[in-house]
Amino acid sequence: MSLTTKHNKTVSLNINPASIIKIELIIVAALLLLNLLQQFLLYEGIQPKIITFIDLNEENNFPSLFSGINLMFTGCVVLLISLAKDRGSRFYKHWFFISFVFFFLGADELASIHERVGRYTSIFLGVEDTIGGFIWVLPFSILLLILAYFYLPFLLHLPALYKKLLVIASIVFVGGGMVMESIGSTMVGVSVYYPLEYIVEETLEMLGVIIFLYAFFKYLKNEIGEINLSFLFRQVE
């Protein structure tokens, strides 16, 4: 015969948002400078071995890993906010879905999902494969407009500070990820300024995520307060 006893464990998360934001800004600034230096060295005919590891235009390297993890980390912060909300509140599901969006964007950054979407969209529309790399902007733009439509009431209900930060973050992130991507697609192979374009593009994307993260950290601190996570363990005796 066995008896089951329950033990509650409460875990407090002590996070210093200011330190995290500063570290991330330093990383972005370092990547920006390294990529500009890389372009100068390439212009001089020098190709350092570290080039693919820090190149903002490459996949499966440090910048893409940093971006993917940071997007998912932002999703975790939003998930904490959603869990702290009353499930009967009007925008509880909105917060929860925002966390899913950031998790998806993080997975996309790590697995290049949007490029696969671009190829399938290119095939579906019967468009040349040469533009399949950026035609993903079309279906993603449609999803973005749908998301904006349903989330406008949510945005409007927020206090002015968070509203302003989220609008700025959205403009910076979308401006880098979609607008600059479209511009860059016309420069590949035909313009010597293309490397500068993708450096600006990726830098804007990373800065956009950092602004999102800052906004959610501020909301978590000012509107939610301290969060204690309680875990229930069952022990068989």
Of 8-22, 28-42, 103-117, 186-200, the poorest mean pLDDT is in: 8-22
**Residue 125 is part of which domain span?**
60-225
Residue 153 has pLDDT above 80, yes or no: yes
Mean pLDDT computed over every residue of the chain: 82
| Burial letters 136-151, b for 16+ CB under 10 A, else e | bbeebeeeeeeeeeeb
Q: Which residues contact 84 (CB under 8 A, 6 or more apart)?
A: 224, 227
Give rounded-to-5 percent helix, strand, coil for the chain: 70, 10, 20
pLDDT tens digit sequence for 165-196: 999 999 999 988 778 877 777 777 777 888 88
What mean pLDDT is predicted for residues 80-105? 89
| More reliable by pLDDT, 103 or 113 | 103
| More reliable by pLDDT, 142 or 62 | 62
Distance from C-alpha of 61 to C-alpha of 174, rounded to nearest angstrom: 22
Residue 19 lies in a domain: no
Q: Which residues contact 102 (CB under 8 A, 6 or more apart)?
A: 71, 72, 74, 75, 78, 212
| Token representation of residue 221 | 């601190």
Residue 54 lies in a domain: no
Distance from C-alpha of 155 to C-alpha of 56, rounded to nearest angstrom: 32
pLDDT tens digit sequence for 119-139: 656 665 656 554 445 667 777
Q: How many domains does the chain have?
A: 1
Residue 55 lies in a domain: no
Q: Which residues contact 94 (CB under 8 A, 6 or more apart)?
A: 151, 154
Residue 10 lies in a domain: no
Helices (H) and strands (E) in the chain, counts: 9, 2
Q: Helix (H, G, I), strand (E, B), or coil: what is residue 227?
A: coil
Residue 176 lies in a domain: yes
| More reliable by pLDDT, 59 or 161 | 161
Residue 213 lies in a domain: yes
How much is the pLDDT for 132? 46
